[in-house]
Amino acid sequence: MGLHLIIGNKNYSSWSFRPWLAMKVAGIAFEETVISLEAKDFKTRIIAMSGAGRVPVLIDGEIRVWESLAILEYVAEKFPAAALWPLQAAARAHARAVACEMHAGFLPLRRHLPMNVGRPVQARALDDGAATDVARIDAIWQECRTRFGGGGPFLYGTFGAADAMYAPVVWRLHTYAVAVSATARAYMDAMIALPAWQEWREAARREPWILPHDEVDWPRVPRE
């Protein structure tokens, strides 16, 4: 029995995007089930798989893993050849630190710029909290690329778990036309060019669901 990833709406579910993208880029086969975050039976269905009642959930036989970062760690252990964490110790430690910082932080940015794949690229002014978060993320990306990114266009050269953790931020900064450094923009362009990224985007744009609280232009729902 193979891996089965339970995820929320592809247009909005930033947490779901992380393990999905990592496994796709790594070439790890899995089945997926999409459940709308506002489906009437959402909690009932998810709690049956995970007591946390949130997506994503990875099912591997009798094993259930929830929380994006925990799923990435599980997949990295199960498929070591995918090299989702850098092989060099200093880079690996750094990657885990910035991934954890992403997992635990940047709430003002998340609230002010919700992930919305189908929204056209249109600027939105940042509040103070979001601006502070953007500056910190830009600094993280520049440090990663300068210290560890010599082997390719991603944070640690080749694509890995840290990139998956920051992938929803790339969507946010792109969608809301947030100004970033040239280094950050080049990194974002490399992420957006991934075939798996395009696959997610096209699926998201075919979804019928609208979540008003994630539509910053509400009651308008602009779409490309």
Q: What is the pLDDT of residues 96-130, one digit of tens each?
A: 999 999 999 999 999 999 999 999 999 999 999 99
Judged against a pLDDT cut of 90, whether residue 51 lies above it is answered with no
pLDDT (mean) for 211-221 = 97
CB of 79 closer than 8 Å to CB of 26 = yes
C-alpha distances in angstroms, 51 versus 12, 16, 56, 80?
A: 22, 17, 12, 28
Total number of residues shown for the chain: 224
Domain parsing of the chain, residue ranges: 3-82, 89-200
Cα–Cα distance measured from residue 7 to residue 143, given in angstroms and rounded to the nearest whole number: 31
CATH superfamily, domain 3-82, is: Glutaredoxin (3.40.30.10)
CB of 131 closer than 8 Å to CB of 149 = no
Fold of 89-200: Glutathione S-transferase Yfyf (Class Pi); Chain A, domain 2 (1.20.1050)
Q: Report angle CA 41, 60, 97 to the nearest 5 degrees.
A: 95
pLDDT tens track for 169-186 = 999 999 999 999 999 999
Collapsing DSSP to helix, strand or coil, 208 comes out as coil
